[in-house]
Amino acid sequence: MSQQSSSVRVWARWATMLVAAAGVVIAWYLTELHIQAQVGQTVGGPLCEPGGTLDCEMAIHSEYAFFADIPISLLGVAFYIGVLMLTLFDTEKIRQSSRPFRPAAISATLFGAGVIYSMYLAGVSAFELETFCPFCAMLYGANIIGLITTSLWAGAGPHRLLLKQIKSPKKVFNGYTGLFAIAFGVALIAGASVAETEIDQRDGDDTPVPTAEQGEPEQFDPNDYRVPDAPAKGAGADAPVHIVEFSNFACGFCAQLAVVMDRLVEEHGDLVRLEYRFFPGHDEAPHRAARAGVCAEQQGQFWEMADLLYRESPNFGPDQILDYGEQLNLDADEFEQCVDSDETRRRVDRDLGDGQGLGIRGTPTFFINGQQYSGMMPYEQLEEIVLQAAEQ
């Protein structure tokens, strides 16, 4: 091997290390956006404007953002950490070897698979979601660059390496692939644990508090947030306590709050009227779920559909939504036409626009006799607020 060729491989190895490190950072940022979505916050940030051309929210809430209920961004973090570990175990002797089973060759194959998956996701973004996630695109680019640098590091094209690996599959499962698998698994478990801890902490931080600066709850005119056609349960329209919730079926904390609200209505149904308004964001999947709620309400089964959607979140594909209608024995043709109708879209968009006009940026957000609260609330605290409102 020439000295020039050896120096190229050394440079390519360091370049691969930088690409993998950048991939870890970007993939974890996307995981942070997943956490925002999980706690009911509007997904946003630099380069991401909900409802715009650069819309991370649509990608995050999409059914394509998960693999076996795991965010693919978290899988990406583990993937890049695994490759990063492979770059650390390299010597001059290994670089001079022509064997297609060394760290460089294995990394090239991994990045090759990453490029293929990136092409698939890019197609989904362009033709299915019809929006652009800039941070996702950064990872697509990282995979392409990684494929180039690992090929230079290995000293052979990825297709040649792959062909040799296919011819000797048993040799592929060596210490280096084992190292990648261990690093991937440990990183995935650790990443999931950190993400879960952050969600729990934000759950505690999101306990509803008054929104006014001086500690006094901001008072809203009920006419600003109540509409006559909102799905409702509990007491009548003139109940002493009315709760109007802006919610999203894709929001984990909304699902938890729904259980609390159900208990409240069950125990104080003579005092409380609960009204539901849709705030799904601009992503098609949660928006489709909201439309399913509208259409189920037209057939008298909104709350049954709401429970089902919260339970099945985020599985809101077109076929899945129709299946939920079948589970509730809804009229299939009427339900399907309703979900896809422009009228139903306008109904959901009206609620969404009203919520944005009230300054709502995340779910769940709810109003109790004109006072605004946001986030998950324990039952005892909610009950105390309701009973005080009833006395007043």
3-state secondary structure of 221: coil
* pLDDT range class, residue 211, cuts 50, 70, 90: very low
For the chain, give the number of residues.
392
* pLDDT range class, residue 204, cuts 50, 70, 90: very low
Angstrom distance (rounded) from CA 318 to CA 293 = 14
Q: What is the DSSP string of 151-197?
A: HHHHTS-HHHHHHHHHHSHHHHSSHHHHHHHHHHHHHHHHHHHHHHH
3-state secondary structure of 243: strand
Number of Cβ atoms within 10 Å of the Cβ of 130: 12
Angstrom distance (rounded) from CA 201 to CA 93 = 48
Angstrom distance (rounded) from CA 392 to CA 388 = 6
Question: How far does Cα 38 stand from its chain's mean position?
Answer: 7
Interval 295-340: pLDDT, tens: 999 999 999 999 999 988 878 888 999 999 999 999 999 999 999 9
Please indicate whether residue 161 or residue 344 has the higher confidence score (pLDDT): 344
Mean per-residue pLDDT over the chain, rounded:
84
Please indicate whether residue 350 or residue 65 has the higher confidence score (pLDDT): 350
Looking at the predicted structure, is the pLDDT value of residue 130 above 90?
Answer: no
* pLDDT range class, residue 230, cuts 50, 70, 90: very high
Question: How many angstroms separate the Cα of 24 from the Cα of each of 29, 170, 181, 387?
Answer: 9, 30, 16, 49
pLDDT at 92: 60
pLDDT at 212: 35
Please indicate whether residue 101 or residue 187 has the higher confidence score (pLDDT): 187
Domains along the chain with CATH numbers: 3-205 (1.20.1440.130), 222-391 (3.40.30.10)
At 218, phi and psi to the nearest 5? -75, 135
**Segment among 30-39, 100-109, 363-372 with least mean pLDDT:** 30-39
Interval 244-260: pLDDT, tens: 999 999 887 788 899 99
Mean pLDDT, to the nearest integer, of 39-61?
A: 61
Interval 162-173: pLDDT, tens: 888 788 877 777
3-state secondary structure of 345: helix
Looking at the predicted structure, is the pLDDT value of residue 208 above 50?
Answer: no
Q: Which residues face 71 on adjacent strands?
A: 66
Look up residue 36 and give its amino acid. Answer: Q
What are the tokens at 263? 């208990």
Angstrom distance (rounded) from CA 120 to CA 64 = 10
* pLDDT range class, residue 100, cuts 50, 70, 90: low
* pLDDT range class, residue 58, cuts 50, 70, 90: low
Question: How many angstroms separate the Cα of 156 from the Cα of each of 95, 96, 160, 168, 170?
Answer: 11, 12, 7, 17, 21
* pLDDT range class, residue 33, cuts 50, 70, 90: confident
